[in-house]
Structure formats: C-alpha cells, structure tokens
Amino acid sequence: MARVFNFGAGPATLPEPVLEQAAAEMLDWHGTGMSVMEMSHRGKAFIGIHARAEADLRELLAVPKNYKVLFLHGGAAAQFAMVPMNLLRGRTVAAYVNSGHWSGRAIAEAKRYCKVDIAASSADANFTYAPAQERWSIDPGAAYVHYTSNETIGGVEFHWIPDTGAIPLVADASSHILSRPLDVSRFGLVYAGAQKNIGPAGVAIVIVREDLIGRASPLTPAIFDYRVQAEADSMHNTPPGYAIYLAGLVFQWLKKLGGLAKMEEVNIAKAKLVYDYLDETEFYHSPVARADRSRMNIPFTLRNGRLDEAFLKEAGGHGLAELKGHRSAGGMRASIYNAMPVAGVKALVGFMRDFERRYG
C-alpha cells in the first residue's frame, strides 16, 4: 500500500526523507557495521549522534548558553511530575493556566506535590480560547507558572508568550515546538514529548534555565532530577537512543529546509488553506476562537453529525488517515505538523469540498 497522508495527533507523521535515511542506515550506521539501536550509548558513534542532535536543536531554537537541553524518557507526561519535583524549590504553591485537556492532566499531577493556584481558565467556554493575559491572576508566592502553549485536543494555541515577571514561566509545547521560532529566554523551562513534531515516541525534550536546577525535592528519583541528568548529558541511565537519533535527523531536515522562520511561513500557509475553507462553508464548523486557532491541530465538526462515519470512511479511501477527533471531543481533527506536506493539506481540503458537494 502507498503511504497515506496521516493526520493523527501523535504518534504523528514523520518527514519522508528522514524515514528514508533511517532505512538506508538501519543495518550499518556510517560504516560501524551496526544499527544505532545496537550501539553502546557510551561509545564514540552514539555520543556523536547525541551531541549533534543537541547542537542542531540549540541552533534551530537559538537556545541561550545558560539553558540546559535534556533528552529524557517518560514522554511529556513524566514532565507533569518532574516540573513540580524539581522547580518548587521549597515553595508550596505553583500557578497553572487551565486551557483544556493537557493542562488539566498537568494540573492533576501537580496536585500530588503542591497546592495548585489556577491563574486563568477557559472552562467557561468549554476550552475554546486562550485566556488573555489581562485576565490572569498569579499567586505572587507561586514557584512557577505553567501553561500548555498548544492544546492538542482543543486546537487552541497561544500565539503570544505570557509575561509572568520574575516568576519562571513553564510551557508544555509538545504539539507545536519547532513549528515556529521561539524566544527561549522568556521561559524558565520548555518541554515537549517527541511524537508530535520532533520524532518517534520515547523521548521528551526539556530546555531549562540553569539557575532553576539543583534544588529538587528530596524524594525525587535520580533519573527524574534535572541536575543529575544535566551533569550526565541525559545519560544517567541508558537513553532512548534510537528516538534521539531520529529526532536528530528531523533537526537536520529542518535546518536544510531553512530553519524555523521558514517552517513558520509554510505552517501559516497550510493552516490558512484549512481555516479559509472552514470559514466559507456552513457544512463544517470550527469551534475555536479565531485569534487562538492552532496551526498544528484543527478540530472541526460536520454540522450533520450523522455523516461522520461516511466522512471518515471516504477520507480513508482517498488516503487521508486518522481524521477522527479525540474521543473526548468527537467530530474530526486534522493535525498538520511540520512533516505534513502542503500536498496533504490540499488533498484534505479538496476532499472536504467534494464531500460537501455530494452531501451538502
């Protein structure tokens, strides 16, 4: 079967040239006679792969020198716990913005470690918008402020960086990191699970300001202590080496395409193709406030929900896969990360138009 356009939210589609390169290097990486999966993480070859991945990520995001870049196990969900374990630094309160499913998950986990102060929430409108900065109220004693900069299920993206003054800002950027340039210096910590916009599942990236680490709470397991991992180059234990290698290939691919400013241009154009059509039709509906619509995850519904099944079945027949919305949201969702080509987005909109013509 030919490759499909995969609109899944994660694990998500990967750039085809990256998969081809990984396939070509599978049995014999650069004359070593072994696969990256079989290499010692202490050996010269893997240390080189790891170092290049970090250097390329630093270059893409222009990460300032006083930030550590970590590649860690446990996905983004491990960070829901690691952030409070490491960043409370003796305080008892952390502030969280509640903007949907993933911030809710981060809040539930943080409550095991501290008092959670809800600085802002969009629960009043079923999480269809990003609460404006004027409406945030941050407990001045909070150890940090956490928000989910792109809500993968709700399709709500913060297109601005909140100002939290001297209180460190923490972002779960899992589903839009590397989709646009990011001013890392505005954050205390940024984290992202890989399987949306970076690489395969099994690794999460943490970018953390150096002065915030080294004061983990005493019961923090060593592998969950940012300082321990920073001092061990993320290799306190065996790292998820193959996932780091593939993430590194994705970073090289992004650099070759022209970096994140160029990627952002493409992502704006791709999202516009879908939203322009959603705005002109009555047949489909986008629930998200216009100013806060995500460029990466686009939830939409058919006004006539009885057509959902036919829509998904016919889309699949056209090689458009994984369009079913999250089970908590219903309807449809098109995730169009960096690796989704413009041709895939055009094929989707073309199919949606045709479906409307036939059923509208």
Ligand X SMILES: *Cc1c(COP(=O)(O)O)cnc(C)c1O
Annotated catalytic residues are 102, 172, 196
**Residues 187-226 close enough to bind ligand X by CB under 6 A:** 193, 196
How many chain residues are in contact with ligand X, going by CB under 6 A?
12
**Residues 169-188 close enough to bind ligand X by CB under 6 A:** 172, 174-175
Residue nearest to ligand X (CB): 75
CA 20 to chain centre: 23
Q: Among 13, 39, 75, 334, which residue sits at the site for ligand X (rule: CB under 6 A)?
A: 75
Minimum CB distance to ligand X smaller for 111 or for 262: 111
Place of tokens 């150890």: 143
Residue 10 touching ligand X (CB under 6 A): yes
| Half-sphere exposure (Cβ direction) of 101: Cα atoms closer than 13 Å | 13
Minimum CB–partner distance for residue 129 and ligand X (Å) = 17
Q: Is 279 exposed, middle or buried (0-12, 13-18, 19+ CB in 10 A)?
A: exposed
**Residues 83-142 close enough to bind ligand X by CB under 6 A:** 102
Residue 54 touching ligand X (CB under 6 A): no
Q: In what order do the strands lie in the sheet with 189-193?
A: 67-72, 204-209, 189-193, 169-172, 145-148, 93-98, 115-121
Query: Are 299 and 154 within 8 A, CB to CB?
Result: yes
Which of 27-35, 71-79, 213-221, 315-323 is the region at the interface with ligand X (rule: CB under 6 A)? 71-79
Minimum CB distance to ligand X smaller for 8 or for 350: 8
Residue 13 touching ligand X (CB under 6 A): no
Provide the sign of the torsion angle of the four alpha carbons 59, 65, 71, 77, taken in this order.
negative
Minimum CB distance to ligand X smaller for 204 or for 302: 204
- At 284 the three-state DSSP class reads strand
Would strands 297-302 and 332-335 be described as parallel, antiparallel, or unpaired?
A: antiparallel
In the complex, the residues that contact ligand X under the rule CB under 6 A are 10, 75-77, 102, 148, 152, 172, 174-175, 193, 196
